[in-house]
């Protein structure tokens, strides 16, 4: 969910920028991108998914976090805020602030018109470099549509698509299943079908 870049800045300037503005920014190699706001359906989907995952993972040693939690891709240096992240076991913190999670098992992005190309392309390429990451979800907000990318080898990912409300999304990395209907419960789709 990033927008136009701000001129290159140092890591210390990045920390200061977030602290002073109270806003969130992606950071990569001195480039900072302001994070854009989300729509009501986007927030509904994120909330539904977090609710489902938290209930199903209760007592399993995993933490489900929303878009205020920064993650860092150690292999590339990207620091960003996915819509949902799940980490299991001991949390590894790293990054510029020392507060970014470096070992998520699952990451989720809810697609929007302004960020879809980035979420599918460059950001996805960064995420696939996270050694601990086992699954990555892209979720449409204008129609029923969940794409699950599951790690099948060190550099191999398998795509599965779920486009029916009656489908069940299996997250093998977490040992849980979520009905697609639960993700979209009460969501009024926006025009445009993305």
Task: Indicate which CATH number applies to the domain containing 154.
Answer: 3.90.1570.10
pLDDT in tens, 90-115: 999 998 889 999 999 999 999 988 88
In a domain, 15, yes or no: no
Residue 24 lies in a domain: no
Which tens digits make up the pLDDT trace of 48-60?
999 999 999 999 9
Residue 14 belongs to some domain of the structure:
no
H/E/C letters for each residue in 81-92?
A: CCCEEEEECCCC
Kindly give, in sequence order, each residue whose CB lies less than 8 Å from that of residue 115, ignoring residues fewer than 6 positions away: 1, 2, 36, 109
| Domain carrying residue 154 | 39-183
**Predicted TM-score (pTM) of this structure:** 0.89
In a domain, 11, yes or no: no
> For residue 176, is it within any domain?
yes
In which band, very low, low, confident or very high, does the pLDDT at 4 lie, cut at 50, 70 and 90?
low
Distance CA 36, CA 164 (A): 29
Is the pLDDT at 69 greater than 90, yes or no? yes
**Domains contained in the chain, number:** 1
Residue 193, in any domain of the structure: no
CB 48 within 8 A of CB 185: yes
How far from 21 is each of 15, 48, 92, CA to CA, in Å? Answer: 10, 29, 26
Residue holding tokens 């020392």? 98
- Does residue 152 fall inside a structural domain? yes
**Which is more confident, 39 or 73?**
73
């Amino acid at each position: 969910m990033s927008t136009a870049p701000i001129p290159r800045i140092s890591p210390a300037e990045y920390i200061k920028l977030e602290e002073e503005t109270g806003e969130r920014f992606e950071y990569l190699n001195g480039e900072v991108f302001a994070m854009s706001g989300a729509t009501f359906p986007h927030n509904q989907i994120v909330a539904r998914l977090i609710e489902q995952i938290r209930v199903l993972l209760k007592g399993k040693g995993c933490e489900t976090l929303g878009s205020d939690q920064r993650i860092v891709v150690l292999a590339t240096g990207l620091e960003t805020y996915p819509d949902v992240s799940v980490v299991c076991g001991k949390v590894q913190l790293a990054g510029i602030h020392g507060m970014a999670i470096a070992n998520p098992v699952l990451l989720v992005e809810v697609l929007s018109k302004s960020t879809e190309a980035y979420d599918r392309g460059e950001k996805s390429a960064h995420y696939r470099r996270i050694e601990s990451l086992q699954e990555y979800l892209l979720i449409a907000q204008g129609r029923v549509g969940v794409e699950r990318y599951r790690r099948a080898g060190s550099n191999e990912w398998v795509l599965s698509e779920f486009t029916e409300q009656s489908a069940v999304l299996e997250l093998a990395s977490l040992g849980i299943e979520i009905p697609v209907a639960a993700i979209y419960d009460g969501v009024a789709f926006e025009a445009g079908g993305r």
